[in-house]
Structure 1
Amino acid sequence: MRSQPHPFMANSVTAIQQEMLDAIGAKTVAELFEQIPADHLTKAPLDLPPALPSEAALRRYLIDTLSQNRHCESELSFLGGGCWRHHVPAICDEIARRSEFLTSVWGTPSSDQGRYQAWFEFCSQLGELVDCDLVGLPVYTWGCAAGHALRMASRLNGRRKVLVPEVLDPERLLVIRNYCEPSGMAQHLSIVSMQTDPASGRIDLAQAAAQIDGDTAAVYIEMPNYFGILEEDAERLATLAHAVGAEMIVGVDPISLGVLAPPPSYGADIVVGTTQPLGVHMYGGGGLGGFIATRDEERYAREYPTLLVSMTSTSRAGEIGFGLSLAEQSSYGSRENGKDWTGNSVYLWAIANAVYLSLMGPQGFEDAGRLITAQARYAAQRLAALPGVTVPLSGSFFKEFVVDFSATGRSVASINQALRARGIFGGHDLSAEFPAFGQRALYCVTELHERRDIDRLFDTLGEILNHDD
């Protein structure tokens, strides 16, 4: 049977393939792989299913496969821990999917089509929310933003030690460690953990005070922290950091800022955080983004690794234009000699973020924050009433809280498995990440949870704990 060209692969056409080989001076495709040792090459065909014969068959296969998925739109979810289910107004998707933005991720100014202005609006509105005058375009994740900020601080004061909380999203910590580089490398930063008070869930202030010294480049905390707890000693930590010339960096969940004070009000020099709650779907964990914000001072601006968007006059009287500032210090302008390496994969989310911010406004953020606070408090009170279940941390919390199942004799994994069988995603299992704390889970409640959802969780957990083996 004669081999047919692949419908989506132009170089599978024999004539085109030969033309490409002739252009590079190779006789066969195999010559391109001669540098690979023979013992590294696969000897037998890969054990793959038969190729799908058509686009229609591929579509059916994908639909059948995806129909097996259980997601947060079809199930009742209390998962959080870094990616949360918040309401996404339909207009966020409508605007972000417009061809002006969807196909204009990068290019020359002639292909701008309003992109720079939309990015400027993102930076301006987010800056107002976090009370900072200077905001860069987003980076891949909150962890990336935190890593960049720690390196910014090190460049500002020439120091190599950074303090981070003991209680930190493990994935975010891995990203931060990657940015701080292994010991022995030229740009290595030493990471020191600040211990957590086991009763409150907050950073142990006395212990942290002993760690902050003249070698400290930055102190990094989160508000709320990974356990949802508010760091009530944040201002004292900032005072300690500033006393030795260190930078204070605060990571924040922006949806909380309708009810919580912005980080600069308690001493933050650099503010970082996530953009995912601002009009972006969970997308299986792929709708993430991180931001960096500071005061509008040249010493900070000169250390930004991200792109900055500014407004200026044009050659036409009375006209305003938007463009990039300090691009030469980024990896776009200087490649490997830039301040740090950043990518542009989340710039489209900045469009959705800008739409969300403009829709919500100050009152919208306050309303959402108050609703989240009330619903989360109600959920914590209900779950704490279950036999053997406690909400162990005494600190105030926002959106997320820790639930301890240790006294029930059940593991979080078994409880979550039973919940899934009943159409509920239980809280994020913390027992593997923080084994010393026992069988604990991180539960998340947002503005999308109604009291009937929380009551359903309470009733279902009661059934599981009372009757399941």
Structure 2
Amino acid sequence: MTTPFVHPYIPNTAPATKAAMLAAVGAESIEEFYVDVPAEIRLGRALDLPAPFTAEADLTRHVEGLLGRNTPTTQRLSFLGAGTYNHYVPAVVDEVINRSEFLTAYAGEPYEDHGRFQALFQYQSLMAELLNMDVVNVPTYDGFQATATALSMAGRRSGRSGIVVVSDVLPDKLSRVRDFVSSNLALHHVPTVDGLADAAAVAALVNSAELAGDVAAIWVETPSYRGAVESGIRALADIAHAVGAVLVVGTDPVGYGVLTPPADQGADIVCGDIQSLGLHQWYGGAHAGFIAVHDDPSFIMEMPSRLFGLESTTVPGEYGFGDVAWDRTSFALREDGKEWVGTAAALWGIAAGVHLALMGPQGMAELGETLLSRTRYAQQQLAAIAGIRLTDSALHLREFEIDVAGAGLSAQGIVDALRSEGIEPGVVTGVSTLLVCVTELSSQADIDRLAEAVRALAETTTTTASDNNASDNTEEKSA
């Protein structure tokens, strides 16, 4: 008889405990929890894990060994972006969020947690000022969820199901959004032209027989997956509003110290991620999503996330902080809620609030100007290399794509070669295309080093090709 496996420090692996848990939920076996997972994507075998360590010291050594395989971007020259960015995090941000009242405060209620609620109210206020919007939610898990929720809000508000996608969207984000909205919304894509939305094609699709009367929203990303700053937001808003739809703008707030906020160009819902505002990369990033709307109950009441507001108390001159429109959330409505609201990323909202308070309008303006200028400098330096070109001519913030085919190079070849020099040159987006990211931490010298390394590769490839051609010609003459 096989002895049941009981893990030395996972109590619910004990047969009696497992049986009690199954009985409590009315299940015969654990398999019942996975019936919705298609067989073809199941692993079909046990996880390849080491035998349990009985000593805590051995377990610690093993885990530290695994973590030691990672190399942080602080130890390499990094031009990686694609959703997680290497911005500077002021020391005061970490100091504040590591205080016990913030770090360990999970939920809390209005009568007992005014300090945390005030911090989140101030975050919301600062974000609203940056975006020139009236209402900003307590952060969701990440920007992917925030965007999916924003599109769902548009669908619920209008009773329509069509979403017109007009930008290049980060593939991971598009996948997450598609999964989230697939049961009630349909995504329709319009190809970009020179990196930007094709307003004429968007108008034609929105007014076509295929979508007539069923467009809930036009969805535009700015900066796009490839870093292009959309210049046609006003035109897209007009197209959406003409058919009773809304404009949803997915964005990164880091550039709005200098760029015109989407709200000033007709956007109805603005959403995205706040990782760029005081959050570290941390091997994939600390992420949190925001949703911003105008002071319009038809939008506000579709927001599932918590909102904190300022309220007077019975004591003259004193104020408190508590939930706004609590009755619209799944906390109040439970299974009848419009959308589930669970664990938020409130700590990261406090981090972003500290960061914005520290930077102020002038600091955010200087940051935006620095990002624009260094992005342009990097574009010029790389495009000056023979055979390398930019894939579009749009204005870019932080990221841009280069095509290296003309230099006889491949994107993966560049990555492999430069990693040996301690450089992460970017994210491979195609056989010959590379997405390069610069931030305020990318100095002119850093950019020059990247350009020189790529130039050296291109020149080596050209020399090798010339030598091969010369050798071929010699052989032909000899023949």
Deviation string for 1:105-150 (max 9, x for gaps)?
2133354151111110111000000000111111122221111111
2:470 maps to: none
Quote the sequence identity (%).
39
2:120 maps to: 119
Compute the RMSD of aligned alpha carbons. Answer: 2.9
8 A contact 2:227–2:399 mirrored in 1: yes
Against the structure 1 CA distance between its residues 421 and 43, is the aligned structure 2 distance closer, same or farther, given a 3 Å change threshold? Answer: closer
1:178 maps to: 179
Deviation string for 1:12-31 (max 9, x for gaps)?
8x9xx97x6998899xxxx9
3-state SS in 2 of match to 1:179 = helix
1:443 maps to: 436
1:467 maps to: 460
2:249 maps to: 250
How far apart, CA to CA, are the structure 1 residues paired with 2:22 and 2:187? 51
1:86 aligns with 2:87: yes
How far apart, CA to CA, are the structure 2 residues paired with 1:46 and 1:242? 52
8 A contact 2:275–2:285 mirrored in 1: no
How far apart, CA to CA, are the structure 1 residues paired with 2:88 and 2:304? 31
8 A contact 2:304–2:341 mirrored in 1: yes
What letter matches 2:214 in structure 1?
D
1:284 aligns with 2:277: no
Question: Per-residue deviation at 1:317?
Answer: 2.3
2:472 maps to: none
Against the structure 1 CA distance between its residues 298 and 421, is the aligned structure 2 distance closer, same or farther, given a 3 Å change threshold? Answer: same
Equivalenced residue count is: 444
1:225-236 to 2 correspondences below 5 Å: 225-236=224-235
2:427 maps to: 428
8 A contact 1:104–1:111 mirrored in 2: no
8 A contact 1:132–1:294 mirrored in 2: yes
Question: Per-residue deviation at 1:402?
Answer: 1.0
Question: Per-residue deviation at 1:236?
Answer: 0.9
Runs of 4+ with deviation above 4 angstroms = 5-12, 20-26, 31-37, 42-48
How far apart, CA to CA, are the structure 1 residues paired with 2:154 and 2:170? 21
1:192 aligns with 2:188: yes
What letter matches 1:231 in structure 2?
E
How far apart, CA to CA, are the structure 2 residues paired with 1:117 and 1:47? 46
1:302 maps to: 301
Against the structure 1 CA distance between its residues 340 and 449, is the aligned structure 2 distance closer, same or farther, given a 3 Å change threshold? Answer: same
Deviation string for 1:279-305 (max 9, x for gaps)?
011122241111100111111111111
2:137 maps to: 136
How far apart, CA to CA, are the structure 2 residues paired with 1:127 and 1:258? 13
Question: Per-residue deviation at 1:345?
Answer: 3.9
Question: Per-residue deviation at 1:269?
Answer: 0.9
Deviation string for 1:227-274 (max 9, x for gaps)?
111211111111111111111111121011011001111111111111
Question: Per-residue deviation at 1:210?
Answer: 0.5
How far apart, CA to CA, are the structure 2 residues paired with 1:211 and 1:236? 14
Against the structure 1 CA distance between its residues 36 and 203, is the aligned structure 2 distance closer, same or farther, given a 3 Å change threshold? Answer: closer
> Of residues 212, 220, 245 in structure 1, which corresponds to 2:206?
212
Show structure 2 runs of 5+ residues with no match: 1-5, 208-212, 465-479
> Of residues 198, 203, 207 in structure 1, which corresponds to 2:197?
203
8 A contact 1:195–1:208 mirrored in 2: no
How far apart, CA to CA, are the structure 1 residues paired with 2:364 and 2:326? 32
1:146 aligns with 2:152: no
1:435 maps to: none
8 A contact 2:249–2:267 mirrored in 1: yes
How far apart, CA to CA, are the structure 1 residues paired with 2:259 and 2:20? 63
How far apart, CA to CA, are the structure 1 residues paired with 2:93 and 2:234? 35
Of stretches 188-197 and 333-342 in structure 1, the one that deviates more from structure 2 is 333-342
8 A contact 1:162–1:191 mirrored in 2: yes
How far apart, CA to CA, are the structure 1 residues paired with 2:71 and 2:124? 35
1:355 maps to: 354
1:328 maps to: 327
Against the structure 1 CA distance between its residues 24 and 225, is the aligned structure 2 distance closer, same or farther, given a 3 Å change threshold? Answer: closer
8 A contact 2:308–2:323 mirrored in 1: yes
8 A contact 1:140–1:343 mirrored in 2: no
Show structure 1 runs of 5+ residues with no match: 183-187, 432-437
TM-score (norm 1): 0.87
Against the structure 1 CA distance between its residues 285 and 47, is the aligned structure 2 distance closer, same or farther, given a 3 Å change threshold? Answer: closer
1:269 maps to: 268
3-state SS in 1 of match to 2:256 = helix
Deviation string for 1:347-403 (max 9, x for gaps)?
110110110010011000000011111111111111011121111311111111111
1:54-73 to 2 correspondences below 5 Å: 54-73=55-74
8 A contact 2:166–2:202 mirrored in 1: no
What letter matches 1:162 in structure 2?
I
What letter matches 1:63 in structure 2?
E
1:434 maps to: none
Against the structure 1 CA distance between its residues 418 and 336, is the aligned structure 2 distance closer, same or farther, given a 3 Å change threshold? Answer: farther
Question: Per-residue deviation at 1:411?
Answer: 1.8
Against the structure 1 CA distance between its residues 267 and 25, is the aligned structure 2 distance closer, same or farther, given a 3 Å change threshold? Answer: closer
1:410 maps to: 409
